[in-house]
């Protein structure tokens, strides 16, 4: 296996992260790259979801992945096994990424010629939701063992997300998780959220999720050429 | 069921949270109250662990609970069902509690005559570890479905914790979680951490954990009288 590039991010204190994020989003749109920000609690299965997503899409899309963590490179090493371009970003203790940090990562990844770039944000249901990374799509993962009440307790995360994956569906029989209650709680926070029950372990549910990503990508390319 | 008191915490920007935390810790020690700060990712089972702990200790100890969340009162309502004193703290979007916020909560709870006070911190493996709440004991919960690599990715949380509960042990057969690997990773961060594998659902492992709490409590009362 190739050695993983580890990028030590510099903390930014930009006066206006929202303006910076808009500018990055526009830059990515011009380049025709769908940039997806994946957020969740620690251990919800962000990396496993990415690996299944890559398996479904890598024959049709050129994919790059930025793995953000406070420490370690275990996630980027797992992603690199799928054969796609991956870098590990270290946040220097920071609990989230902002637009400038995500730009530093994109430069390190080298996004030329890519169709899809995924950012695996720091595992945290609070702070990452407060900072626009410049991504075109915000996606949250809620895992079945975490319970169906999380959208009630972490409102902003579910409000800012375009899509929510409910992962570890294969563990449903052993946990007190009511899918309909989770769905209602998510839609109360964001009525337009797209919800995809999946299992990264079994591959269940990845068809509709990857089709959703593909539609978003085609739409972005259409706008670019339109 | 009685109505739950919901306390809207005021954000504090004290110059020196560490000094404030030391002063609160000393105040609690003088009062003979063991103050325990419980931290974890969202959905690791903090509330369920607390409910089992209360069941084990409520006949011998007077217990109070502060439930901190960004929104909702679902946790304090569950705790109140056990018959102990509980308040819900709302952090106003903040991702952690500091010493002054925890003091506001203790005042609202009314700690006179209590032996043990538990703070259920905001579900987050990053930020709460950075702020000393003034608790005598910091405890982290790592749930089996989250994976055994979390101490590698969230180093500070495991470094500041006196004890780590590995929860949802009853789900071990269906997840790729190696208990020995988790134990090694925790001890690499903090060689003095006490580790307790438990299942809040089945009650497995709560004897040693509650005995540990009792020893800490007896020690604090011994120091107080010594």
Contacts of A145 in chain B (CB under 8 A): 43, 143, 145, 168, 171
Could you tell me how many CB contacts below 8 A there are between chain A and chain B? 113
Band of residue A223 on the pLDDT scale cut at 50, 70, 90: confident
Contact A154 B123 (CB under 8 A): yes
The interface predicted TM-score (ipTM) is 0.87
| Mean pLDDT score across all residues of chain A | 93
pLDDT classification of A63: cutoffs 50, 70, 90: very high
Q: Residue A133: which of A5, A30, A10, A36 has the closest Cα?
A: A36
Cβ contact A145–B70 (<8 Å): no
Question: How confident is the model over B83-118, as pLDDT tens digits?
Answer: 999 999 998 888 899 999 999 999 999 988 999 999
The answer to whether B104 touches B87, Cβ cutoff 8 Å, is: no
pLDDT digits (tens, 9 = 90+) for B62-77: 999 999 998 888 899 9
Q: Is A184 on the interface with B (CB under 8 A)?
A: no
**Which band of pLDDT confidence, cut at 50, 70 and 90, is reported for residue A111?**
confident
- pLDDT-derived band of residue A65, with 50, 70 and 90 as boundaries? very high
Binned average pLDDT, 10 residues per bin, chain B of 226 residues = 72 81 96 97 96 97 95 90 93 89 94 94 93 97 96 94 98 95 96 97 98 97 79
pLDDT > 90 in chain A, percent: 85
């Amino acid at each position: 296996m190739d050695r993983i590039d580890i990028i030590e991010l510099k903390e930014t204190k930009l006066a206006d992260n929202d303006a910076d994020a808009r500018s990055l989003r526009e830059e990515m749109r011009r380049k025709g790259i769908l940039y997806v920000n994946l957020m969740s609690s620690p251990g919800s299965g962000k990396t496993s979801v990415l690996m299944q997503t890559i398996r479904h899409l890598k024959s049709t899309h050129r994919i790059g992945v930025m793995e953000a963590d406070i420490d370690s490179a275990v996630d980027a090493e797992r992603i690199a096994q799928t054969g796609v371009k991956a870098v590990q970003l270290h946040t220097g203790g920071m609990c989230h990424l902002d637009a400038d940090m995500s730009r530093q990562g994109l430069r390190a990844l080298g996004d030329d010629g890519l169709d899809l770039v995924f950012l695996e944000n720091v595992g945290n249901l609070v702070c990452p939701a407060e900072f626009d990374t410049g991504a075109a799509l915000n996606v949250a993962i809620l895992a079945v063992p975490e319970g169906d009440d999380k959208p009630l307790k972490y409102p902003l995360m579910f409000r800012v997300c375009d899509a929510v994956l409910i992962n570890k569906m294969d563990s449903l029989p052993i946990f007190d998780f009511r899918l309909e209650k989770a769905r209602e709680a998510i839609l109360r926070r964001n009525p337009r959220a797209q919800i995809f029950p999946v299992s990264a372990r079994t591959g269940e549910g990845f068809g509709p999720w990857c089709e959703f990503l593909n539609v978003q990508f085609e739409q972005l390319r259409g706008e670019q050429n339109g």
